[in-house]
Amino acid sequence: MCHLPYFDGISALLSLLGFFVSLAYVQDTDVLVWENNMIFSTDPHLITASDGLSTALFDTCAIAGGHKANHTGPYTMFQQKQVWGNSSYAYTGLSIPVDTGRSYKPWLMLHWVLICSFLFQGARFLAYCEHDDAHEGILFQYVPTNGPDFWRWVEYALTSPLQIIIIAGSFYMREIVQLALIAGLQGALVLLGYVIELEIQTLCLEKIAAWQAGAYRMPGMTVKMFVCQCKLAFLFLCAYTSHAIIWVVLIAKFLMQAQAISDCRNPSKMPPVIIYIISLECLLFTLFGVVLTVQAVYVARKPSLDPLAVQSLWKKATWWYSFLSISAKLVLEWGFITLLASTDAQQA
């Protein structure tokens, strides 16, 4: 296993190299986004037009399993019939993607991800300090064996939501509210990871206290250990639920979009590289939770822990975080550049 400070230094250089490589491919690309609004109207022309669109959509995207009799199926356009108050009019509501004129620049997002990584990883490399050499009076000091590092999770909170947006935008999941919610949930999930680490540290301190007490203390779980483990169980439940929501939504939306291209007489197809991006990013993001889980289970199963074992535990977890972080960012850059290259080749 590479020595931790050197690994942070190598990660910083890779992030900087990735930034410069991306500059060779950068384009002034604006990705348009839209906002779904439910529009209600009694205008007969609008109702007739919507009925015609609904029929054309259903006939164009007809698949096995669609029900011709009542026009229900995966490509049935939703229309909401609504009557308000004592009105005798039945309003027809259509969910319409509205062009708000908003857009985002995925290249700028990717550059932000890589530059943030370079700055935080470089700072950790320069400020690295072994446990025995640490001094409380030094302002900038990175001692991974001391436990949770708040600034590492700040880095992830500043970068991972944008990574999610880039992934979602690659297969046209670009509705503003959806993007905001899924990116915000990812940011909250990252900070939840820091809270979990704090609880793991609390449990570690209790295990160290049990080790120090030795024969003077009755073996078994204390009330503080039990409460801490209950907190960890709840936090992990919340974290895994949030993670599942993010990736189930992304994968389901991708599969629906890919299937629609096939069903609706579109001669093109979803670029295979998008499958690799989603699969690898999902795996790497999931492994962050696996590292936390293994760490928590290891500590919970031990009746006591000596300080050196705890320091080693934090150091190994930190190494894996660094590895997963740089891997996720470079995989995304590779996938994004490959996607751009394949798109250019198709247009040539």
Cα 94 to Cα 48: distance, rounded to the nearest angstrom: 12
Q: 302 and 192 in one domain?
A: yes
Q: 168 and 61 in one domain?
A: no
Q: What rounded mean pLDDT belongs to the chain?
A: 85
CB atoms within 10 A of CB 147: 19
Sheet of 91-104: strands edge to edge? Answer: 31-41, 91-104, 79-82
pTM above 0.85, yes or no: yes
| Residue 209, domain extent | 4-29+105-347
Taking only the tens place, the pLDDT of each residue in 106-130 is 888 999 999 999 999 999 988 888 7
Taking only the tens place, the pLDDT of each residue in 257-306 is 888 888 887 777 788 889 999 999 999 999 999 999 999 999 999 888 88
Q: 176 and 91 in one domain?
A: no
Q: 181 and 46 in one domain?
A: no
User: How many domains does the chain fold into?
Assistant: 2
Is-contact 323 8, C-beta < 8 A? Answer: no
CATH number of domain containing 197: 1.20.1070.10
Q: What angle do CA 110, 183, 191 make, to 5 degrees?
A: 100
Tell me: pLDDT of 99 over 60. Answer: yes
Q: 55 and 16 in one domain?
A: no
Q: 121 and 76 in one domain?
A: no
